Structure 1
Amino acid sequence: MPTLPEPHQLRQTAESFGVDAERYDRARPRYPAALIDRLAAAGRDVLDVGCGTGIVARQLRDRGCAVLGVEPDERMAQFARTRGIDVEVAAFEQWDAKGRTFDAVVAGQSWHWVEPARGARKAAEALRPGGLLGLFWHLFVPPEDIAAAFGEAFRKAVPESPIKFNRTPTRDAYRPVVEKALAGTEFGEPEVQFYEWHHDYTRDEYLDLLPTQGGLTRVSDEQRAAVLTAVGAVIDARGGQFTCDYTTVLFTAENR
Structure 2
Amino acid sequence: MPTLPREQPEPSPAQAHEARRMAESFGVDAQRYDQARPGYPDALVSRIVPGSPGPDVLDVRHVLDVGCGTGIAARQFQSTGCTVLGVEPDARMADFARARGLQVEVTSFEDWQPAGRTFDAVVAAQSWHWVDPVAGAAKAARVLRPGGQLTIFGHAYEPPAEVAEPFAAAYRRAVPDSPLSGQPARRPLALYQAAYVKIADKIRETGQFHDPEQWRFDWEQSYTREQWLDLLPTTGGLTQLRPDQLAGILDAVGDAIDSLGGRFTMNYTTLAVNAVRAMGA
2:276 paired with 1:254: yes
Is the alpha carbon distance of 1:83 and 1:162 closer, same or farther for their aligned partners in structure 2, counting shifts above 3 Å?
A: farther
From 13, 17, 36, the counterpart of 1:27: 36
From 116, 119, 122, the counterpart of 1:105: 122
DSSP 3-state at the match of 2:139: helix
- Runs of 4+ in structure 1 off by over 6 angstroms are none
Deviations 1:36-71 (A, max 9, x none): 111222140000000000001100000000000000
**Kept after mapping to 2: 8 A contact 1:116/1:180:** no
2:163 paired with 1:150: no
2:65 paired with 1:48: yes
Aligned-pair distance for 1:151?
Answer: 1.3
DSSP 3-state at the match of 2:81: coil
Distance in 1 (alpha carbons) for counterparts of 2:92 and 2:126 = 18
DSSP 3-state at the match of 1:92: coil
2:24 paired with 1:15: yes
Q: In structure 1, what residue type is equivalent to 2:202? A: A
TM-score, normalisation: structure 2: 0.86
- Aligned counterparts, 1:38-117, within 5 A: 38-41=47-50, 42=52, 43=54, 44-117=61-134
Distance in 1 (alpha carbons) for counterparts of 2:188 and 2:202 = 20
Aligned-pair distance for 1:153?
Answer: 1.2
2:193 paired with 1:175: no
Aligned-pair distance for 1:145?
Answer: 1.4
Deviations 1:152-185 (A, max 9, x none): 2112212333444661241414324413532420
Aligned-pair distance for 1:23?
Answer: 0.3
Aligned-pair distance for 1:11?
Answer: 0.8
Q: CA RMSD in A?
A: 1.6
Number of aligned residues: 254
Distance in 2 (alpha carbons) for counterparts of 1:161 and 1:181 = 30
**Kept after mapping to 2: 8 A contact 1:130/1:255:** yes
Deviations 1:81-117 (A, max 9, x none): 0100000000001100001000000000000010111
Moved more, 46-55 or 166-175: 166-175
DSSP 3-state at the match of 1:34: helix
Is the alpha carbon distance of 1:224 and 1:95 closer, same or farther for their aligned partners in structure 2, counting shifts above 3 Å?
A: same
Q: In structure 1, what residue type is equivalent to 2:103? A: D
Distance in 2 (alpha carbons) for counterparts of 1:177 and 1:74 = 30
Is the alpha carbon distance of 1:180 and 1:114 closer, same or farther for their aligned partners in structure 2, counting shifts above 3 Å?
A: farther
Aligned-pair distance for 1:223?
Answer: 1.0
Is the alpha carbon distance of 1:158 and 1:90 closer, same or farther for their aligned partners in structure 2, counting shifts above 3 Å?
A: same
**Kept after mapping to 2: 8 A contact 1:194/1:249:** yes
2:260 paired with 1:238: yes
DSSP 3-state at the match of 2:110: helix
Deviations 1:115-161 (A, max 9, x none): 11111111111101111000001113321111111112112212333
Identity %: 54
TM-score, normalisation: structure 1: 0.95
Aligned-pair distance for 1:6?
Answer: 1.9
Distance in 2 (alpha carbons) for counterparts of 1:135 and 1:50 = 11
Distance in 1 (alpha carbons) for counterparts of 2:194 and 2:167 = 19
Q: Partner residue of 1:189? A: 211
From 153, 162, 168, the counterpart of 1:136: 153
DSSP 3-state at the match of 1:37: helix
Distance in 1 (alpha carbons) for counterparts of 2:198 and 2:185 = 16
DSSP 3-state at the match of 1:100: coil
DSSP 3-state at the match of 2:266: strand
From 217, 241, 246, the counterpart of 2:239: 217
Q: In structure 1, what residue type is equivalent to 2:131? A: V
Distance in 1 (alpha carbons) for counterparts of 2:210 and 2:244 = 47
Distance in 1 (alpha carbons) for counterparts of 2:217 and 2:175 = 33
Is the alpha carbon distance of 1:102 and 1:58 closer, same or farther for their aligned partners in structure 2, counting shifts above 3 Å?
A: same
